[in-house]
Amino acid sequence: MPEVSTVILIAHERKLPELLKLMRKRRAVFETYRLLATTETGEAIERELELECTHLFSGRQGGEIQLCGLVCTNVIRAVYFLRDPLSAAADEPDIAPFYRACDLHNVPLATNIVTAVALTHWLGRKLAAPAEATAGGR
């Protein structure tokens, strides 16, 4: 049985609707990955999308630090950290450690909806390949 790749999902409160909209639209991609999130993001994913998502500590309790540590273990395929650069509250997750961890371990990091869409396209490229092969073979 092949090992399932893991994706980390975090969103500041004002960016959570954007993340959920993307996940709803590209659900097939996210269904193929193990999803990890902070409590707030994970509960929203489960409630709104009914996707299984393991959530660790809340952002207020350092959940993003837990998740960032996992990037360093080489088990994370990608990180979505949709942040609100204009009005992030002091108690919201901090992205700074993710920049370093993702760069050191070559893990793609999406920080806004445009990079999140691009990352989702990249993660879903294997899903499109069988459909393209079938269409091309007709």
pLDDT digits (tens, 9 = 90+) for 49-102: 999 999 887 767 777 788 888 999 989 999 999 988 887 566 566 678 888 899
Residues ≥6 apart with Cβ < 8 Å to 6:
33, 34, 35, 36, 70, 75, 76, 77
Q: How many domains does the chain have?
A: 1
What residues form DSSP beta bridges with 55? Answer: 37
Please tell me the distance from the alpha carbon of residue 1 to that of residue 114, in angstroms, as a whole number: 33
Domain with residue 71: its CATH number is 3.40.50.1380
pLDDT at 131 over 50: yes
Range of the domain at 35: 6-136
The pLDDT assigned to 138 comes to 44
The secondary element (H helix, E strand) that includes residue 55 is strand 54-55
Specify the pTM.
Answer: 0.85
The pLDDT assigned to 129 comes to 63
**In a domain? residue 1:** no
